[in-house]
Amino acid sequence: MFPIQDQVSVATKANFEANLALVSSLTNKTLESVEKLIALNLTAARSSMEESQAATRQILAAKDPQEFFSLVAAQAKPNLEKVVAYGGHLTTIANSTQAEFTKAAESQMAQFSRKVTELVEEASQKAPGADGVLAVFKNALGNATSTYEQFTKTAKQAAEAMNASVNGTVTQFAQAATAQAKS
């Protein structure tokens, strides 16, 4: 085999191993997020069931319609606060997962770019006269890297905008429900 072919084989194997490590890492992060989500849902369901039973007992013990309606109205605000808190926990889990995925992808892209650059540099030293082809390849790699960086930046901005929108909607909903409960 030629030396450059040996380098390509080594680079291919290293890239495969890096991709396998990335997939393993992302799978673990996904499972951690699913565990957090399941724990949150179990806690919320258990708490909701217990509180619902207590509220039902109170409402059934009402002596007149006035007391009945005041008990029902009194339940609205704490329930809304719990829904808002639940939404906050979901947002935290989603943001954490997204940040881990972004971090892993950025790390993988940087590592890939560095290895390809090293391979191109070594090839240019061992293959005189291939400067034109290697320059085109370097340019293409630079364009791909800058496109990826722009995509990552745009994805982060979209995630931030979505989080702001969700938080704004939840806040407006909470304010509206609080105003409704007061009236």
Give the Cα-Cα-Cα angle 22, 23, 25 (nearest 5 degrees). Answer: 65
Q: Model confidence over 88-114: pLDDT tens digits?
A: 898 889 888 888 888 887 787 777 777
What is the average pLDDT value for the chain, to the nearest integer?
Answer: 79
Residue 88: both structure tokens together: 């906050």
Reduced 3-state DSSP string for 117-178: HHHHHHHHHHCCCCHHHHHHHHHHHHHHHHHHHHHHHHHHHHHHHHHHHHHHHHHHHHHHHH
| Contacts of 68-76 spanning 24+ positions with Cβ under 8 A | 73/181, 76/177, 76/180, 76/181
Q: Where are the beta strands (DSSP E) in the chain?
A: none
Which of 29, 79, 93 has its CA nearest to residue 180? Answer: 79
Q: Model confidence over 64-97: pLDDT tens digits?
A: 999 988 888 888 878 888 888 888 898 889 888 8
**Structural domains of the chain, count:** 1
Q: Model confidence over 128-174: pLDDT tens digits?
A: 666 676 677 777 777 777 777 777 777 777 777 777 777 777 677 66
Q: State the Cα–Cα distance between residues 85 and 170, nearest whole angstrom.
A: 10
- Provide the residue range defining the domain that includes 72: 3-182
Q: CB under 8 Å to 17, separation ≥6 — which residues?
A: none
pTM: 0.64
